Amino acid sequence: MKLTIERGALLNALGHVQNVVERRNTIPILSNILIDASGDAVRFTATDLDIEAVDHADAKIDDTGAVTAPAGTLFDVVRKLPAGADVELELNKENSQLAIRSGRSKFSLPTLPAGDFQTMVPDEDATEFDIEAAHLRRLIDKTRFAISTEETRYYLNGVYLHTADTDAGKKLRTVATDGHRLALSEVDAPSGAETLSGVIVPRKAVGEVRRLIDNEDGDVSISVSDTKVVFKSGRAQLTSKLIDGSFPDYARVIPKGNAKAMIIDNKLFEAAVDRVATVSAERSRSVKLSLAAGRLPLAVHSAETGQGHEEIECDYQADEMDIGFNAKYLLDVTAQIEAEDARFLFNDPASPALVLDPGDESAQYVLMPLRV
């Protein structure tokens, strides 16, 4: 195998795939990227056996062939080469080393045979549809912060992607929850997605897809089967196994009758929560909100770390009430609000609160209270 490729094209392709590789692997070849040169392009593939990332780049192919090389080292070498430089990759058959040459820089990396590299086979009978990259970014960004990190509840370790029937028609919806908070976002269901049944996309795959489409403007093709989901954007593709489990009936968690409304300047509220939470105990991070007509006192009391108090104005006309929330969860939600004001709907101190964004009617957030 021998090829010449522009450094920027090589770095971009490697960047799309190398994050899939787990840095600590008991299987050596899973630390490598598969490089397959044929025709007028080179194909790069990385996998951890649960997720597979593939991208292509144009190159001048002198000798076709395939080999695997250490993902992290290869990426770091290319990243540190001068911008705009041409990079030559050549497999030395005598010592099975991958030679990397660019200008006066020369490197040699160990390789493993391409035949030992495992790739994922796509499933048949998949539901396929296209969605605008901007819409997919929104679906991910508005919900992924609420994905659970508790491994024992594995069915919460991802985003629930499905089509829902609403009064406004069919919606493609993402939902994430960790049992303490819930985030929901939706867009009009694209053509082909109307029959999509619910699947759980793992946390790592969600992050990799978001990175893949970060600067994309076109459509993303999605293919969903019973066991896998495939995302295609341009010449890049990400395939992931789905979480085999049942996502909880999240609709039961979303409050329907919360009548005590508080409208508050989101930036002022976010800053106030952040300030008083400075002295909160790290374990609970509980902030007490004392709802009163026209004002909102915030307080933190910790025997170990001290006390914090602040008061800001708000639009609240219901009965006075004290309710507590995890400060980090409050800040995660306020970070998603696009409008100047945030709308909180309460019922009582023991019931979940519903948070709405007047600037984005397609998003809903639920926060479970803490004892104060």
- The percentage of residues in the chain with a pLDDT greater than 70, rounded to a whole number, is 99
Average pLDDT (99-116) is 96
Report pLDDT digits (tens) over 325-357: 999 999 999 999 999 999 999 999 999 999 999
How many angstroms separate the Cα of 140 from the Cα of each of 137, 145, 146, 338, 362? Answer: 5, 9, 11, 15, 13
Q: Would you report the helix, strand and coil content of the chain in percent, each value rounded to 5?
A: 20, 45, 35
Residue-level pLDDT at 39: 92
Residue-level pLDDT at 284: 65
Average pLDDT (136-154) is 96
Q: Would the pLDDT of 96 be above 90?
A: yes
Report pLDDT digits (tens) over 265-276: 999 999 999 999
Average pLDDT (152-173) is 95
Would you give the distance in Å from CA 192 to the centre of its chain? 23
Q: Would the pLDDT of 93 be above 80?
A: yes
What is the sign, positive or negative, of the torsion defined by CA atoms of 70, 76, 79, 81?
Answer: negative
Would you give the distance in Å from CA 118 to the centre of its chain? 25
Q: Would the pLDDT of 92 be above 70?
A: yes
Report pLDDT digits (tens) over 168-183: 999 999 999 999 999 9
Residue-level pLDDT at 190: 96
Residue-level pLDDT at 342: 98
195-198, Cβ contacts within 8 angstroms, sequence gap of 24 or more: 195/127, 195/163, 196/127, 196/129, 196/161, 196/162, 196/163, 196/172, 196/224, 197/127, 197/162, 197/163, 198/160, 198/161, 198/162, 198/247
* pTM summary value: 0.92
Report pLDDT digits (tens) over 276-318: 999 886 766 899 999 999 999 999 988 777 899 999 999 999 9
Mean pLDDT of the chain, nearest integer:
95
Least confident range from 71-85, 115-129, 190-204: namely: 115-129
